[in-house]
Amino acid sequence: RKEVEQDPGPFNVPEGATVAFNCTYSNSASQSFFWYRQDCRKEPKLLMSVYSSGNEDGRFTAQLNRASQYISLLIRDSKLSDSATYLCVVNPAGTYKYIFGTGTRLKVLA
Amino acid sequence: SQTIHQWPATLVQPVGSPLSLECTVEGTSNPNLYWYRQAAGRGLQLLFYSVGIGQISSEVPQNLSASRPQDRQFILSSKKLLLSDSGFYLCAWSVVSGGTEAFFGQGTRLTVV
* B106 contacts in chain A (CB < 8 Å): 42-43
Write the pLDDT tens digit of every residue in B59-92.
886 789 999 999 999 999 999 999 999 999 999 9
Region A67-76: what's the mean pLDDT? 96
pLDDT at residue A72 greater than cutoff 70? yes
Contact B23, B105 (CB under 8 A): yes
Average pLDDT, chain A: 94
* A32 contacts in chain B (CB < 8 Å): 98-100
Region A9-24: what's the mean pLDDT? 96
Residue in B32, B101, B106 nearest the CB of A96: B32
Among A109, A105, A59, which Cα is nearest to A86's? A105
Q: What is the pLDDT of residue B41?
A: 78
Say how far apart CA B21 and CA B111 lie, in whole Å. Answer: 13
Residue in B46, B94, B104 nearest the CB of A43: B104
Record: contact A98-B102, CB cut-off 8 A = yes
pLDDT at residue A16 greater than cutoff 80? yes
Question: In terms of C-beta density within 10 A (0-12 exposed, 13-18 middle, 19 or more buried), how is residue B8 classed?
Answer: exposed
Record: contact A101-B43, CB cut-off 8 A = yes
Would you call B100 an interface residue with chain A, using a CB distance cutoff of 8 Å? Answer: yes
Contacts for B52 with CB less than 8 Å, ≥ 6 apart? B30, B68
Q: What is the pLDDT of residue B50?
A: 95
Write the pLDDT tens digit of every residue in A18-52.
999 999 999 888 889 999 999 999 999 999 999 88
Query: Which stretch of A8-12, B19-23, B105-109 has the lowest confidence by average pLDDT?
Result: A8-12
pLDDT band at A92, cuts 50/70/90? confident
Say how far apart CA B26 and CA A63 lie, in whole Å. Answer: 33
Region B54-63: what's the mean pLDDT? 87
Say how far apart CA A57 and CA A61 lie, in whole Å. Answer: 6
B18 prior amide bond cis, ω within 30: no
Three-class SS state of A83:
coil
Instruction: Determine the residue among B68, B101, B103 to mutate to test chain A binding: the one whose Cβ has the most chain A Cβ atoms within 10 Å.
Output: B101
Region B19-43: what's the mean pLDDT? 93
Region A76-95: what's the mean pLDDT? 94
pLDDT at residue B96 greater than cutoff 80? no
pLDDT at residue A75 greater than cutoff 90? yes
In angstroms, what separates the C-alpha of A1 from chain B's closest C-alpha? 15
Region A88-106: what's the mean pLDDT? 92
